[in-house]
Amino acid sequence: MTEPAVRRPKALAFDVFGTVVDWRTSIARESAEFLARIGRPDIDPHDFADQWRRRYMPAMATVSSGQRGFVKLDILHREMLEAVLLDRDIDVSTLDPAMLADWTDAWHRLDPWPDAVAGIARLRAAFPVVTLSNGNVSLMIDMARRAGLVWDAILGAEYARAYKPQPAAYLATADALAVEPHDVCLVAAHHSDLAAARGCGLMTAYIDRPMEYGGARAFDADAAQHWEYRADSLTALAEQLGC
Amino acid sequence: MTEPAVRRPKALAFDVFGTVVDWRTSIARESAEFLARIGRPDIDPHDFADQWRRRYMPAMATVSSGQRGFVKLDILHREMLEAVLLDRDIDVSTLDPAMLADWTDAWHRLDPWPDAVAGIARLRAAFPVVTLSNGNVSLMIDMARRAGLVWDAILGAEYARAYKPQPAAYLATADALAVEPHDVCLVAAHHSDLAAARGCGLMTAYIDRPMEYGGARAFDADAAQHWEYRADSLTALAEQLGC
């Protein structure tokens, strides 16, 4: 897949959940164990993962709207988990808090897509590669160390103290990199994220991840635009960028 | 050198200038070229490096005192450079701004001490390793990429928006790592830095760098205390920590 020549970015900033790692399979795998432990093996773990993730945008919106101050995604993940359990009539107050903390930390243990580690390593040889994720710093560190991912810096929401798609998240990342927004390319599997980045002047690279939702249509499929780069893996993006 | 058994940290946070990289030799090497270019090869480059660095603490103090808002170290380095040139009766307004920017960026191109890359790689196999430096994010990224250093995250002053030895710089780093301050060990060649970290509850590892000031006595030599770890290289620290 060869794209027409476009300006070369000076740095690559990565969305992570869905773009670099397969959150759904990983959260389902972990949740299956925890659900069995609490005596609810009847709950479908993939459905559980989807329900947990479905609360992601509304949870961040409470911060982005100013309704509450910035809190790390770990905090939101815990609250979202408790809400999903409550939806299934599970009384959270009866559960071991240490187990709930460990369950929440499942988001620190997501597996990378098969091309991610090699693709990012190739891209890193030519460009600074940073995270521009809503995940907090310790989550990103744990995930990267477990997966063998190497980042030049962990930027994004916690650094900016603003969640995507708030402009501050994208602009603070460019500022930390000391480059103009138009010299940063966001690499993401989500059209809505890319659209917000483009709105801030960033370049965009779309990575197609048809299995992110287990094959179901993405919530933002209608937001597709013509992005500067488009690839079906991070190794293919490296190829396009001549890495 | 075997130390008595002490509690094991959960993460290592590194001072960088002087601890990981030899700023004086590198700044002197770069400044020799720039001084020649502006027709001042008479100025001793090591003395020039010392003069530039001498303005470091007072420059950061203007931020820490609240006299001005937080600005990145790159900005302070540029102002400090202009002041040192002025001290030598060099009219900065006659110099090429691009050259001054490049000269300032010499701080992005510091060489690591001979043991640093291998030592940090060994330590990283067992602990998350992050920067807890006053250097800004893009400076740290450039330096690490050039030197072949790998960090799990770039934390410290810019993340905290506070310069060491302000407590916020140490405490924000522990917070980002999601561990208690007493589970973070600051690794530094400077007693004053370690003392401030200890004041915030961090563990401490002193790295002896007798050549940091070209063999001259360190400004904070009198602030020595009994630190949890003490080593004459980062590989020796790795040895002590069983890495």
Please give the single-letter amino acid code of residue B94: T
Res. B2 pLDDT band, cuts 50 70 90:
low
Question: B7: pLDDT confidence band, cut at 50, 70 and 90?
Answer: confident
Q: Which of B141, B158, B176 is opposite residue A152, by nearest beta carbon?
A: B141
% pLDDT > 70, chain A: 98
From chain B, pick out residues whose CB is under 8 angstroms from the CB of A141: 128, 130, 152-153, 177
Among B178, B174, B157, B158, smallest CA distance to B166 is for B157
Superfamily of domain B11-22+110-240 in CATH is HAD superfamily/HAD-like (3.40.50.1000)
Contacts with B155 from chain A: Cβ below 8 Å:
137
Looking at residue A223, what is its pLDDT? 87
B207 - beta bridge partners?
Answer: B231
**Which numeric CATH code is attached to A23-108?**
1.10.150.240
Q: A2 falls in which pLDDT band (50, 70, 90)?
A: low
Residue A205 to residue A212: CA distance in whole angstroms: 17
Say whether residue B105 is in contact with chain A using an 8 A CB cutoff.
no
Minimal C-alpha gap between A72 and chain B (Å): 9
Closest listed residue to residue A145, CA positions, set B151, B46, B112, B135: B151
- Nearest-Cα residue of chain B relative to residue A159: B159
**pLDDT surpassing 70 at residue B1:** no
Q: How many CB atoms lie within 10 A of CB A177?
A: 24
Residue B185, both tokens? 């060990």
Chain B nearest C-alpha distance from A153 (Å): 5
Q: Please classify residue B234 by burial: count the beta carbons closer than 10 Å to its beta carbon, then call 0-12 exposed, 13-18 middle and 19+ buried.
A: buried
Q: What is the CA radius of gyration of chain B?
A: 18
CA B21 to chain CA centroid, nearest Å: 7
Coil, strand, or helix at residue B93? helix
Q: Which of B139, B154, B179 to mutate to test the interface with A (most CBs of A within 10 A)?
A: B154
Local structure of B188: helix, strand or coil: strand
pLDDT at A239 over 80: yes
pLDDT band at A221 (very low <50, low <70, confident <90, very high): confident
Written as six digits, the tokens of B54 are 């001498």
**pLDDT at residue B151, as a whole number:** 98
Mean predicted lDDT score pLDDT of chain B: 96
Q: Do domains A11-22+110-240 and A23-108 have the same CATH topology?
A: no
Average pLDDT over residues B225-235: 97
Contact A143, A120 (CB under 8 A): no
**The pLDDT of residue B222:** 86
Judge contact between B67 and B59, C-beta under 8 A: no
Cα distance between the two ends of chain A:
15
Which pLDDT score is estimated for B216? 92
As a whole number, mean pLDDT of residues B228-237 equals: 98
Closest-CA residue of chain B to A144: B152
Pairing of strands A229-231, B11-14: unpaired
Interatomic CA distance for residues A170 and A13, integer angstroms: 9
Give the per-residue pLDDT at A5: 65
The arithmetic mean of pLDDT across residues B95-100, rounded, is 97
- Residue B185: which residues within 8 A CB-CB, separation 6 or more? B9, B11, B12, B13, B202, B203, B204, B205, B228, B229
Which of B152, B15, B77, B195 is closest to A150 using CA atoms?
Answer: B152
Read off the pLDDT band of A222 (50, 70, 90): confident
Nearest-Å Rg of the Cα atoms of chain A is: 18
Q: Looking at chain B, which residue has its C-alpha nearest residue A175? A: B138
> What is the per-residue pLDDT across A113-144, written as a single tens digit (0 to 9) for each?
999 999 999 999 999 999 999 999 999 999 99
B118 part of contact set with chain A, CB < 8 Å: no
Q: Which tens digits make up the pLDDT trace of B39-97?
A: 999 999 999 999 999 999 999 999 999 999 999 999 999 999 999 999 999 999 999 99
Q: Which residues neighbour A133 within 8 Å (Cβ) at sequence distance 6 or greater?
A: A14, A15, A16, A17, A140, A156, A157
pLDDT of residue B12 exceeding 80, the answer is yes
- Which pLDDT score is estimated for A119? 98
pLDDT in the model for residue A162: 98
Q: pLDDT of A6-40, one tens digit each? A: 889 999 999 999 999 999 999 999 999 999 999 99
DSSP, res B135: S
- Region B114-132 average pLDDT: 98
Domain coordinates of chain A in residue numbers? 11-22+110-240, 23-108
| Interatomic CA distance for residues A196 and A167, integer angstroms | 7
With CA atoms as reference, the chain A residue closest to B138 would be: A177
Q: What is the DSSP letter of A217?
A: P
Interchain CB contact of B149 with A (< 8 Å): no
What value does the mean pLDDT of chain A take?
96
What is the model's pLDDT at position B79? 98
- What percent of chain B shows pLDDT beyond 70? 98
Query: What order do you get walking across the sheet with A229-231 strand by strand?
Result: A153-156, A129-133, A11-14, A184-188, A203-207, A229-231
CA A243/CA A74 separation, integer angstroms? 34
What is the C-alpha to C-alpha distance for residues B102 and B64, in angstroms, rounded to an integer?
27
| pLDDT at residue number B6 | 81
Counting every residue, how long is chain B? 243
Q: What are phi and psi of B18, to 5 degrees?
A: 100, -35
Question: In angstroms, rounded to a whole number, what is the distance separating the alpha carbons of residues B179 and B157?
Answer: 18
pTM for this model (two decimals): 0.96
Question: Residue B4: is its pLDDT beyond 80?
Answer: no
Tokens 């994010």 belong to residue: B137
Preferred mutation among A154, A175, A177, A184 to probe B, highest tally of B CBs within 10 A: A154
Q: How far apart are the first and last CA of chain B?
A: 15
